[in-house]
Amino acid sequence: MSQTLHSSSHPSPTQAPQRLVIASRESRLAMWQALYVQDCLKKRYPDCDVQILGMTTRGDQILDKALSKVGGKGLFVKELETALEDGRADLAVHSLKDVPMVMPDGFDLACVMAREDARDAFVSNDYASLEELPQGAIVGTSSLRRESVLRAKFPHLKIEPLRGNLDTRMGKLDKGEYQAIILAAAGLKRLGLESRIRAFLPYDPYTPAAGQGALGIETLTQHPHIKEWLAPLNDMPTLLAVSAERMVSRQLGGSCEVPLAAHASWDQNHKSMRIRSFVASVDGKAICLASGSGPVESVEEAEALGLAVAQDLLAQGAAELIPVLPKITKPV
């Protein structure tokens, strides 16, 4: 009898999968990501029937409120996790920056794929850069992190919330509701919209969110064989970098309610890592900034570097800028 993921017994990791179902949000960008993972799996396992289960999440449905007011980025993953639990899907594909920093019991971040451009992008129909925007120009962003930097550098601009999927946000710009919007460059590039980018924002001071530009694949802990099948899709430089970033964010209560940035890069030749992070007030008037570097050859060492940067930020008084601070823990 053929073995599938939905049978009661688990196949050997060395046995190729025969059927895999990917849970994904139904936005155009999310579906691009799911199709990309589907293609990678089909190339790796040509005889596997790889299907996509499209879903709408609460994060997609609630568009009239800021994420920080309605439950945070976890709203984009809960329905997908339910599909994993009830057996409708075997893996869920996420933009990694949307994945909560602490995984729920029973779930694993099983795979981190190669990162796209992690920078933020300036998009406007009338202006070439943030510096060109006139007094009172409306800039849209969904991120408190971006908002804090913009308010600090450009107090004469009007920063307004911007929700919806990428196409919805671009549509609001094209209707004239905003003079400019700030988006993750990765999504624009993946959907072939790089030509809409007027400027890439530098990592200093526009440090991205932890995990920005990377794809994460979530599975159930009770299905280790699926994690084994996904292992060839892991990208080590990205995995190490986001491990450090997510450790910083985890220690500082990273959520939509905290203007928190963390970006790391791993030098494969020298086996070393650099990381930059900040915590700020939403108005941009207070900021704690820290960076770190050192030899890194494992996830544990990457997390240790991230933890050191988080402790540096706390020593500077970052806790005063964080609504609810979690207890600091050592890397696990």
Angle in degrees, CA 137, 143, 145, rounded to 5: 95
How many other β-carbons are positioned within 10 Å of the β-carbon of residue 193?
18
Same domain, 36 and 82: yes
Catalytic residue IDs: 98
Partners of residue 295 on adjacent β-strands:
272
Q: Which tokens go with 5? A: 């993921």
Q: Which amino acid is at 85?
A: E
Residue 118 token pair: 């992690």
Kindly state the tokens that stand for 208: 């991205």
Residue 14 lies in a domain: no
Q: What is the number of structural domains in the chain? A: 3
pLDDT computed for residue 98 by the predictor:
85
pTM of the complete model = 0.86
Same domain, 108 and 225: yes
- For tokens 């094209």, the residue is 174
Pairing of strands 107-112, 120-123: unpaired
Q: What is the CATH number of the domain that holds 48?
A: 3.40.190.10
By the 8 A CB rule, do 158 and 170 touch? no
- 268 and 222 together in one domain: no
Q: What whole-number distance in Å separates Cα of residue 143 and Cα of residue 69?
A: 12
Position 3 scores a pLDDT of 33
Residue 324 within any structural domain of the chain: no
Is residue 33 domain-shared with residue 107, that is, in the same domain? yes
**Which of 200, 222, 256 is at the close of a domain?**
200
What pLDDT was estimated at residue 114?
Answer: 95
- Look at residue 67 in the predicted model and tell me its pLDDT: 42
The whole-number pLDDT of residue 1 equals: 30
- Pair 274, 220 in one domain: no
Examine the domain organization and report whether 27 and 110 are in the same domain: yes
pLDDT of residue 7: 35
34 and 96 co-located in one domain = yes
Backbone phi, then psi, for 207, in 5-degree steps?
A: -65, 130
DSSP 224-248: HHHHHHHGGG--HHHHHHHHHHHHH
Residue 172 lies in a domain: yes
CB contact at 8 A, 233 and 114: no
109 and 29 within one domain = yes
Q: Whose structure tokens read 């029973």?
A: 106
**Domain shared by 223 and 253, yes or no:** no
Are residues 138 and 193 located together in one domain of the fold? yes
DSSP three-state, residue 166: helix
Q: Are 74 and 100 in contact (CB under 8 A)?
A: yes
Is 125 domain-assigned? yes
Where are the strands (E) in the chain, listed by range? 19-25, 49-55, 91-95, 107-112, 120-123, 138-141, 158-161, 180-184, 197-200, 215-220, 260-267, 272-280, 287-295
Is 53 within the bounds of a domain? Answer: yes
List C-alpha distances in Å: 22 to 31, 39, 51, 93, 121. Answer: 10, 12, 6, 7, 29
201: left (phi over 0), alpha (psi -120 to 50) or beta: beta
Per-residue model confidence as pLDDT tens for the chain (332 residues)? 333 333 334 455 568 999 999 999 999 999 999 999 999 999 999 999 999 999 876 544 444 444 444 444 456 688 899 999 999 999 999 999 988 888 999 999 999 999 999 999 999 999 999 999 999 999 999 899 999 999 999 999 999 999 888 999 999 999 999 999 999 999 999 999 999 999 999 999 999 999 999 999 999 999 999 999 999 999 999 999 999 999 999 999 866 678 999 999 999 999 999 999 999 998 899 999 999 999 999 999 999 999 999 999 999 999 998 865 554 444 43
Domain, as residue range, for 156: 120-200
Residue 31, amino acid: M
DSSP letter assigned to residue 79? H
Indicate whether 226 and 247 sit together in one domain: no
Query: Which pLDDT score is estimated for 332?
Result: 36
Are both 94 and 223 inside the same structural domain?
yes
Structural domain contains residue 1: no
